[in-house]
Amino acid sequence: MTNKKLSFFRYENNLLILLFLVFGLVFMDRLSIIFLFPFVAEELNLNNTQMGMLVGATSIAWGISTLLFASVSDFIGKKKLTLIIFILGFSIATFTSGLVGGLGSLILVRLLMGITEGPVIPLIQSTMMAESTPKRRGTNLGLIQGSASIMGNAIAPVLVVAIAVATNWRYSFFALAIPGIILAVILMFYMKEPNFNKGLGTNDIKVKPTFQEYKSVFKTRNVWVSMLMAIFYMTYLLVFTSFMPLFLSGVSNYSTGQYGAILGIMGVGMFFWQFLLPSLSDKLGRKTIIVPATFIAILLPLAVAVFHANFVVLAIAVFILTIGFGAQPLYLAIIPSESVPRVFAATAIACVVLTGEIIGGTAGPVIAGILADKFSLYAPLWLASGTAVVFFFLSFLLRETAPVKVSRNISEDSVITTTI
C-alpha cells in the first residue's frame, strides 16, 4: 500500500492561512492606538495616564467578553457563526475609532473593540487545535500567535504611522476596518464547523458537553498556573509595547521613522520566535522551551533602558531578546487547551486570557502611566522587567502536555507496570 501524498492546499493549511490573517488583524486593530498615540494625544490633548486608561479599558472589556462568549460557543457548538459575527463587530469598532471627538468617546469605542475582539482569540486557537494533526499543534498555534507580532507589531506601526503622516490618523482606522469584513465573508463560505471529537475513535460523533466537564476546567492545575502567568505576562506585554514608543520618542528623541523601525524589528523578532519555539516544543516538550524563554523576557526592557541611545545596538538587542515572547503561545493557549477535554479548549484559553486581561492588562498600563507621569518613562521598563521575573518562576509549576513527552511517559509507565 502506498501512502498518498497530502496536498499543501488541504483544508488544515488553508484554514491556517485565513485564521493567521484574522488573528493578526485583531492585534493590528488593537495596537494601532498605541502607535498612533503621539498623533491622537496632540489632537485630543491626552496624557500618559489617560493613555494607560485607554489600554486598560480595552483589556477589561476584552477579558470579560472572552470567557463569556467562548464558554457559550463551547456549549452551543456554533463556533463558525460566533467567530464571523465578532470579526464583523471588531471591524465596525475599528472604523468607529476614526470618528471619535474626545477621551470619553474614545474609551467607549475601545470598550466596544474589547468586547468584540476578546472572543475571537480563543475561538481561533481552539478551532486550529481541533483541525491540527497532533504533531503540528505547536507549529500551527505558534504561527497563528506569531501573526499578532508580524502584523500587529511589525506591519501595523509602519502602515498606520505612514497613513497618519500622509493624511490624518483617523484614516488609519478607516483603512484597517476593510480587511476584517473581507475575511469574514471568505470564512462564511469556506470554513467548516470544527469537530472537537474528531480522532477520538468511537467519539467521532458530536457529543454534547456537560456542566460537570465545564467545571473541571477551573480545577485543572495547568489552567490555574497559566492564569497566574497571564496576569504578569499581560502586564509585561502591554506595559512594554505601550510605553516603548513613548520612551523612544521622548527619552531617545527618535523620529517617527526611527521608533517605527525599532517597533518593526521587534515585531519581526516576535513572529520568528513565536513560530520557532512552539514548533520546537512539539519535539522537545513545552516546559523545555518555556523556562529559558521566560528568563530571557526579563532582559528585554533592561536592554531598551541601557542601549536606547545606540540605534544599531538597540535594534540587534531587541531582535535577539524578543525570544522572551516566543513561549507566549505555549502558556496562554497550547498548554491550557491540552490539559482539558478538547471540547472545552476555548473555555480553558478564555480563562487564561480573562485573568490576564482583567488584572494584568487593565491595572498594568494604568500603573505604568502613573509611574511615567510621576517619575520618568524609564519607570514602565522597570515595571515590565519586574513582572517578567514573576512569570519566569511560575513557569516551573507547569506540567508537561506535549504529545511527544506525554506519550513517552505513558509508554515508560506501561513498561514498568508490565515488568512489575
The per-residue pLDDT for range 223-250, each reduced to its tens digit, is 999 999 999 998 998 888 878 877 887 7
CA dihedral for 50, 24, 120, 231, sign (positive or negative):
negative
pLDDT over 90 for what percent of the chain? 27
Better-predicted residue by pLDDT, 295 or 211: 295
pLDDT at 20: 93
Specify the amino acid at residue 404: V
The Cα 169–Cα 162 span in angstroms is 9
- Overall CATH class of domain 11-194+217-419: mainly alpha
pLDDT (mean) for 110-131? 86
How far does CA 241 lie from the centroid of its chain? 13
pLDDT at residue 205, as a whole number:
47
Query: What integer is the mean pLDDT of 106-123?
Result: 88
- Determine the straight-line distance between the first and last CA of the chain, rounded to whole angstroms: 39
Query: At 63, is the pLDDT very low, low, confident or very high (cuts 50, 70, 90)?
Result: confident
pLDDT tens for each residue of 285-297: 899 999 999 999 9
- Res 259 pLDDT > 80: no
Q: pTM for this structure? A: 0.76
CA atoms of 278 and 334, how far apart (whole Å): 9
Length of the chain: 420
As a whole number, the mean pLDDT across the chain is 83
- Are 80 and 193 contacting, i.e. CB atoms less than 8 angstroms apart? yes
Largest Cα–Cα separation, the chain: 75
Q: Is pLDDT larger for residue 213 or for residue 192? A: 192
> Which ranges of 191-298 would DSSP assign to H, the alpha helix?
211-217, 221-250, 256-284, 286-297
Bigger pLDDT: 14 or 344? 14
- Which of the four pLDDT bands, split at 50, 70 and 90, describes residue 415? very low
Cα distance between residue 122 and residue 124, in whole Å: 5
Cβ atoms of 351 and 218 closer than 8 Å: yes
In this predicted structure, the answer to whether residue 187 has a pLDDT above a threshold of 90 is yes
Please state the rounded mean pLDDT for residues 289-312.
92
- From the number of C-beta atoms within 10 Å of its C-beta (0-12, 13-18, 19+), residue 416 rates as exposed
- Please check the confidence at residue 211 and state whether its pLDDT lies above 50: yes
Q: Are 312 and 262 in contact (CB under 8 A)?
A: no
